[in-house]
Structure 1
Amino acid sequence: MRTSSRAIALCVVLAAAGAAPAHAQPAAAAGPAIAIDEKLPAEAKTFLRGLHPQSGDVRIAAAKAVLHLGDRYYFLPADEAKRVLTQLWGNPPEVVSDVLGLVMEKGKSPTDDAWGAVITYRDTGYVSDEDATTQDYDAVLASLKEGEAAENEQRKAAGFPTLSLVGWAQPPSYDAGAHSLIWARELASSDSKVNGLNYDVRLLGRTGVLSLNMVATMPMLAQVRQAATEFGRSADFESGARYADYDAATDKAAGYGLAGLVGGGAAVAVAKKVGFLALLAKFWKLILVGILAFGGAIVGAFRKLFGRRNEDGE
């Protein structure tokens, strides 16, 4: 069986042009058939044929947002996305419980070396961007690295590879016009010779944050960065749910700013009190999705699901 790398993206950029009106229902349609490599085992082909891709406009109800996919991308709904992430890519079910869907490019399969955008939404409340020009993200990075040894002991005990945060693959940057925050982390895993890449872009809304997360390998950095920019423009909050619609008199505030979002949300505020594991409980949940897929680990996940190699031994 062929070894596949995975680029899974959670990246969102506000796209005003072509957005569906708030009163209109997005026109989701049956998407293109998923491309299937004939070299895959029969069980893998059956798995892929059991997926039901959608294209066009797909509404993410929990976020009051719309993905304008056209015919360039396809969407897998939450239940099928979770099957891909757990059964095919080998992630534990508890880290994908909040996944709302998975988007991939037309012509690509979950078994290919191709990115896939894992969609989640956090009902955090309004995240202030007042600290956009004053944050020291190197200090945030240092805080995220603290306590890795203790966390990795827990990961080893649970049977998962250890993970270490090497540094920024792209330092956090904020687009004030689009109200989107983007950053990328380089990660080292004990079961891979190639460092992983976690590419994250968050779109700030009135009551929370829409997130798409790309996980890939560092050699794919340029490719994933380009994909994040292009695919990110397909997402938009609906009227009434946009960042500009926030009403301080009635709406809940998150209680933290952009640095807190990068560091794991509200966990940053309590990290010093309850320890680094409280922080990583949120942080690693966001980046674990797909992490077992990079390098050679996908082979083990395939074997676990399908039970054998194909006859040519690839």
Structure 2
Amino acid sequence: MKRVLGLWLIFMLMLPTVASASEDSLNFVEGGEGVTVKIGEVGTIDLGKGLYYLDKKDTEKVSLMDGNLLTGYEVASIGSTDENQNWFVYFDYIDSGHIKDAKDDKINADKLLKQIKKGNEEANKEKPESDHIFATGWDIEPFYDSKTHNLTWSLMLEDSERDPFLNYQVKLLTRHGYLSIILVTDSASREQAASVLSNEILANFTPTPGQAYGDYDSKTDKAASFGLTGLILGGAGVAAAKKVGLLVLLKKFWFIVVAAVAGAFSFIRNKLRGNKTTQTQDETETAPDQTIT
């Protein structure tokens, strides 16, 4: 009960912030040839045409617009300018310590799903019935790529109305922690969105020199207290996940349902169009002066 009241109080205090955030303009960076954007301090992405990028500050604004509580881990976000693509990607960075020997960490998908459902049930007890979320199975079972050091999974969920949605996540392991990459999309768009994330975004990620997974130095660097299984269960270890309830440990996507997603995409794209229109008007108004000069 204390946790619920605490979250409620935080949300009430944040309402003015949410309102002001929605009124602020967002500073979009549009992709194209030669455009490179920062993903926190751990890497960069060559941003292709048809994509747009928001930095830490603007990602926090969008996160608040989506009704999420900020954790301070937000570093960037990327979306599509194509109105036929309904997806958005959040990037968080967590300095958890190096997750070592990841390739030797065996993932038992069936056991994990049981733990997730158990944690899910416990978390629902602390929330109003209208906010209940139910884990129903794997859309994509967790798998780890030892070459790219990416851990990926997609979980099938249902909201309180039993409407389905997905929780698609990628964890990119680094020297000192990991990037948590959360794909916000609907079921119909997941395959296309996941392909763009993998082939057009993560494929163009370059670690900052000294921050790559292979740069880990066991003599000087901190090691994480959990492995891949703990990472899937919220980054706090299996025991903690069992005790506290999985959903309490996780962050964004659990609280975003399909109906809200479409509205968020429309809002962001309208902002993008508005910024373009304003920029064009400014250029038109200044053109005569430039000609005279």
In the aligned structure 2, how far is the partner of 1:297 from the partner of 1:218?
Answer: 11
**Is the counterpart of residue 218 in structure 1 residue 187 in structure 2?**
yes
Aligned to 1:124: 96
**What is the 5 A alignment of 1:137-152?**
137-152=109-124
Q: Relative contact order (C-alpha < 8 Å, sep 6+): which is higher?
A: 1
Partner residue of 1:153 out of 125, 137, 147:
125
Is the 1:131–1:257 contact (alpha carbons within 8 Å) kept by the matching residues of 2? no
What is the match of residue 280 of structure 1? 247
Code of the residue aligned with 2:170 in structure 1: it is V
Per the TM alignment, residue 213 of structure 1 is displaced from its structure 2 partner at its CA by 0.6
Cα 1:133–1:123, aligned 2, differ >3 Å: closer, same or farther?
A: closer
Where in structure 2 are the equivalents of 1:192-207 lying within 5 Å? Answer: 193=163, 195-207=164-176
- Which amino acid is 1:280 matched to? L
1:32 match: none
1:123 maps to a residue whose letter is D
Q: Percent identity?
A: 27
Identify the match of residue 209 of structure 1 among 178, 198, 201: 178
Q: Is the 8 A contact 1:192 1:295 kept in 2?
A: no
4+ runs of 1 displaced by more than 3 Å? 46-49, 129-133, 296-303
The answer to whether residue 64 in structure 2 is matched with residue 80 in structure 1 is: no
When residues 95 and 196 of structure 1 are mapped into structure 2, their CA distance, relative to the original with a 3 A threshold, is farther
Q: Is the 8 A contact 1:199 1:224 kept in 2?
A: no
In 1: Cα distance, 2:49 partner to 2:262 partner: 28
Structure 1 position 228 matched with structure 2 position 212: no
Q: 1:164–1:180: structure 2 CA closer, same or farther, 3 Å change rule?
A: same
Structure number with the higher helix fraction is 2
Q: CA RMSD in A?
A: 2.9
1:54 aligns with 2:22: no
> What letter matches 1:98 in structure 2?
Y
Change (3 A) 1:261 1:271: closer
TM-score, normalised via structure 2 length: 0.73
Alpha-carbon spacing, 1:299–1:131, altered in 2? closer, same or farther (3 Å): closer
Q: Name which one, 1 or 2, has greater alpha-carbon Rg.
A: 2
Deviation string, structure 1 residues 246-296 (Cα, Å, up to 9, x no partner)? 001110000221111111122424345xx233x43222x14336x14x136
Structure 2 counterpart of 1:295, one-letter code: A
Structure 1 residues 208-247: Cα deviation after superposition (integer angstroms, max 9, x where no partner): 1012111222222322331222222122211100011000
Indicate how the Cα distance of structure 1 residues 282 and 271 shifts in structure 2: closer, same or farther if over 3 A, else same: closer
User: How many residues are aligned here?
Assistant: 242
Match of 2:45 in 1: 67
